[in-house]
A and B are shown apart, each in its own frame.
Chain A
Amino acid sequence: MEVIFKVQRFDPESTDLVSHFQEYNVQLTDSSTVLDGLIKIREEDDGTLSLRCSCRAAICGSCAMRINGEAGLACNTKIIDVMPQDGSPIVIEPAGNLPVIKDLIVDFQPFWAKFKAVEPWLQPGDIQPEGEYIAPEEDMVHLAGVVSCILCGACVSDCTVLEVDDSFLGPAALAKAYRFSRDPRDESDDQRLAQLNEPGGVWDCTRCMKCVEVCPKGVDPMDRIMLLREKVMDAGHNNTSGARHANAFAKFLKNSGWLDELKLPVMSFGIFNIKAMIGLIPLGIKSQLAGKRPPIFHHKLSSAKEIKKIFEKVESKK
């Protein structure tokens, strides 16, 4: 079958330094992958097209790129699954949120820097075990998903926070931080969790689930970030806006069965965060004027008692 590719090109040696799209028509079969198509273009049509690949089997993690606007491994994506029905081309762009070097090749330096920042290695305590330390299986099996990360960067490419703020550690590095923080042989939790509680850490994630959706290996970075939040709060770091929000949310639900939307932001920012509180005032006043604001007197839901009971029962088991 004939397949049309529309590929984003960028040549660092060109004079104008802007990217543009180029179309290619390729003959492929039903079982071809996007990578097969791109390699065919490079070999038969245009030797200047640059891309990274190696294993062609979703193992090495080098071929992540945006296919029709969403990150994925080119070697792991079948043409028939992404070919638009209406005959329009398959759009191929380099991975997002990383600087483009040439065509589909991006610079992984920022990716590695964040990775390194979470110290992705085992840090045992001062007391060295006498023999080999074999971690019990039940402590490790639940990490199977997260250790299968192949460092392809698809999650980083599509992370909605990285798009607006490159100081965020990002999904791949945070998932790796979770992997070490949950390893029974690692003793550096105090320092790890304190670091993850800082700006740019676990609280900056918007929970958009992009990373979960695009990850080719089922690492579920966002879910790991949520578990890290739980760990961070359990370790006593309750003084961030994120932790206050989560705690206030639970408290309202427990005591009245629903949210007090007027008090929630106040409690999230923290009563003493004067600057943020002032920031809220304009919206409060405008909302008042527009007649759009939550009720001032928060009443209990009729089923509040039942909800509180569920809280108490589940929490007593924890």
Chain B
Amino acid sequence: MQEKNLFLADTLNARTFALAEKSGLPLMTICSTCQGVMSQANQRLTEDPEYLAQVNETLADEGLEYKGTIDPKHLLWIIAEDLGIDFLETKIVRKLEGFKFAPFYGCYIVRPSKALKLDENPNRKQALEQVIEAVGAEVVDFPGSTLCCGFPILTINPKNSQTMVANHTIDAKDRGADSMVTPCPLCHLNLDGYQPNAAALAKRDIDLPIIHLPQLVGLSLGIAPEKMRLNKHLVSTKKLLSELADAP
């Protein structure tokens, strides 16, 4: 929406924030892109009272007002900051020892660093690695971890989009990753759904399952894989899950 009309986009976000304020509950998202969009909108809304007043004028028709008190938070941050890694560790029933996961943050949960308050919370740059280690698995570092998955240009420039998918998944795979973990459903969509196209483009097998962050945590909490729709991925998670079942 941003490129169509920024004011409109900010008003729609302000409406969501106003509804959250009204409910008296904090606002959580499971999507990096939502996080980025909401954090940036919130920055614009809260740093300029005049702008906020204009937005609120539009919201007034619906009887809503955004006061500026919402701090939207991704599930990843809630796990790492609010609940704490120590707390997560106490809840783990199934250590994923012996598995290697490559963390894929994507863009909007690390940039722009100011709106996402990364300087105030430096931990946010390492949170995904911390969760992977907490569930007992090994982190596979690779250069593309905070780069673009290619999703935003999926329909605009499929070749570039799929080259990005190929580069990241091949990099992670060649460094020994069993799977890639992402806090962003859109990254997941591109990295999982278009991995076969990317493999064709790169003329080689890739076959790297892409796991959502909640699925990774869920596995360590003992939630059944089918319940988390791990059987509905395009890149099959079968091998990964059977190795998990066989592991001691």
Identify the A interface with B (CB < 8 A): 69, 160-161, 163-165, 199, 203-210, 212-213, 226, 229-230, 233, 240-242, 245-247, 249-250, 253, 265, 268-269, 276, 279, 282-283, 286-287, 290-292, 306-307, 309-311, 313-315, 318
Contacts and interface: CB of A to CB of B under 8 A. Distances in A.
Contact of A206 (B61, B148, B193, B196): B148
Contact of A226 (B3, B143, B160, B164): B3
A130 to B, nearest CB: 38
Contact of A309 (B62, B148, B163): B62
Interface string B58-93: 110110000000000000000000000000000000
Given A212-B111, A279-B158, A165 B163 contact: yes
Interface in B220-248: 229, 232-234
A290 B230 CA distance: 10
A210 B107 CA distance: 8
Given A241-B155, A282-B196, A310-B8, 7 more contacts: A163-B167, A230-B3, A249-B4, A287-B234, A292-B229, A292-B233, A318-B5
Contacts of B152: 206-208
A207 B36 CA distance: 11
A229 B5 CA distance: 11
Given A207-B107, A213-B113, A160 B3 contact: no
B156 A203 contact: yes
* 5 A-B pairs closest in CB distance: A268-B155, A208-B148, A209-B111, A164-B163, A160-B148
B164 A164 contact: yes
Contact of B15 (A199, A212, A292, A310): A310
Contact of A165 (B8, B111, B160): B160
Contacts of B5: 230, 250, 314-315, 318
B147 interface: yes
A195 B15 CA distance: 37
A287 B193 contact: yes
A206 B229 contact: no
B111 A290 contact: no
A204 B160 contact: yes
A276 B4 contact: no
B65 to A, nearest CB: 14
Interface string B1-40: 1111101100110010000000000000000000010000
28 contacts: A69-B143, A161-B160, A163-B147, A164-B167, A165-B157, A203-B153, A204-B153, A206-B153, A206-B164, A207-B107, A208-B152, A212-B112, A226-B3, A229-B3, A230-B4, A230-B5, A241-B155, A242-B156, A245-B155, A249-B1, A250-B5, A276-B158, A283-B193, A286-B234, A307-B12, A310-B15, A311-B8, A314-B5
Given A160-B164, A164-B167, A207-B107, A247 B156 contact: no
A245 to B, nearest CB: 6
Given A160-B164, A161-B160, A203-B156, A210 B111 contact: yes
B150 interface: yes
Interface in B137-188: 143, 147-148, 150, 152-161, 163-164, 167
A167 B69 CA distance: 44
B1 A290 contact: no
Contacts of A247: 4
A204 B156 contact: yes
Contacts of B108: 209
Contact of B233 (A163, A203, A241, A290): A290
B111 to A, nearest CB: 4
Nearest to A265: B155
Nearest to A203: B156
Contacts of B193: 283, 286-287
A290 B62 contact: no
B214 to A, nearest CB: 15
B194 interface: yes
A313 B155 contact: no
A161 B111 CA distance: 16
A205 B5 CA distance: 18
A229 B158 CA distance: 19
B111 A314 contact: no
A307 B64 CA distance: 12
A241 B161 CA distance: 14
A262 to B, nearest CB: 13
Contact of B62 (A160, A205, A226, A306): A306
A283 B8 CA distance: 33
A233 B1 CA distance: 13
Contacts of B158: 276, 279
A240 B163 contact: no
Contact of A291 (B36, B161, B197, B232): B232
A126 B25 CA distance: 61
A310 B159 CA distance: 37
B41 to A, nearest CB: 14
Contacts of B164: 160, 164, 206
